Amino acid sequence: MPEVLTRRALNRATLERQSLLERSALSVPEMVERVAGLQAQTPHTWYVGLWSRIRDFDPVGAAGLLEDRTLVRIALMRSTIHLVTARDCLRWRPLVEPVIERVTQGAFGRHLRGLDLDAVAAAGREILDERPLTFGALGKELTSLFPGRDAAALAQVVRARVALVQIPPRGMWGRSGPIAHTSAEHWLGAPQAADPSFEDFVIRYLAAFGPATVMDVQAHCGLTRLREVIEPMGLRIFRNEEGRELYDLPDAPRPAEDTPAPVRFLYDYDNALLSFADRGRMGVLDPEQVRRAWPEHGPVPGPVLVDGTVAATWATARERGTTVLTVTPFAALAARHRDETEAEGERLLRLLAPADTHDVRVAAPW
């Protein structure tokens, strides 16, 4: 019978692979590849994700990697914007294109009936490779070629069928800019992978998030029918406490479940929490906690890991030259955890607001 892994054992394995047990000396591109990309639909919060994982993290240096095209922000897993290296962009975009197509059809299908989608994509690629544009501007230009069609739908066809990167200054540390796009092939000067491998994709996922169920892998990327890919791969098999099969790389790290886990501030869309069908390994089980950590409306607060699981949220506000970081726990924190939270919060403020005075507050529990 396969070995059973407890939720706490799965938690420690994930924290180790996500460099959340101890900050790493890896470079930014190495870390981005280690964690299989960072969800980056907001232009700047992902910098906190790298800060939480890398020793002596330099956000200005990380931003420079967008300018020199080592890193890109592009729609990938779950049809959401991810920060990935150039080579992962070119390897992974063909694999997840069906997900982006499915999402586009679900949202805009009624506007696409009778439309030559290949022709729209080709026209959009030509326009964007000549001059990067926002989707609003792209849709307006496409309506002159496809009169009577919905501009937003036309732009989304291009997003689905052409690998589009958001170009700087969008996403640059301390700066921003319009959400302008061009094709990945044009921006990177290289074609997408001709023979992308689902097996390699699964290996990268497990290296970053495993051990995991088939449903976990599918939740990460949005693809379906991956069991037929995973089962023949000769992976090591465990079971979770509910009896479901977990797949993992044979030699991947699986720390003891009593391994200490430090307080860590994650960012709003951190894949350490989002890339599972079952988020229970990160302590996110209570529906009220889920609602508070990921509200349907309004800004999404950052989660705080205490002893490896989500135990609070954090947010910042500026008050007359002072940046205030407020931590709101789900339940009262033990004294040592409160002290550790305040110290880690002060370190985070030195990243986010180096010129301000700082105030870290632990609010009353929800």
Per-residue model confidence as pLDDT tens digits over 67-97: 999 999 999 999 999 999 999 999 999 999 9
Residue 366 burial (CB count, 10 A): 12
Tell me the pLDDT tens digit for each residue of 214-246. Answer: 999 999 999 999 999 999 999 999 999 999 999
Q: How far apart are CA 332 and CA 337, in angstroms?
A: 10
Percent of the chain topping pLDDT 90: 93
Q: Are 95 and 75 in contact (CB under 8 A)?
A: no
Contact, 247 vs 213, CB < 8 A?
A: yes
Confidence at residue 174, expressed as pLDDT on a 0 to 100 scale: 92
Q: What is the pLDDT of residues 10-55, one digit of tens each?
A: 999 999 999 999 999 999 999 999 999 999 999 999 999 999 999 9
- Residues 6 or more apart whose CB falls under 8 angstroms from that of 319 comprise 359
pLDDT digits (tens, 9 = 90+) for 124-178: 999 999 999 999 999 999 999 999 999 999 999 999 999 999 999 999 999 989 9
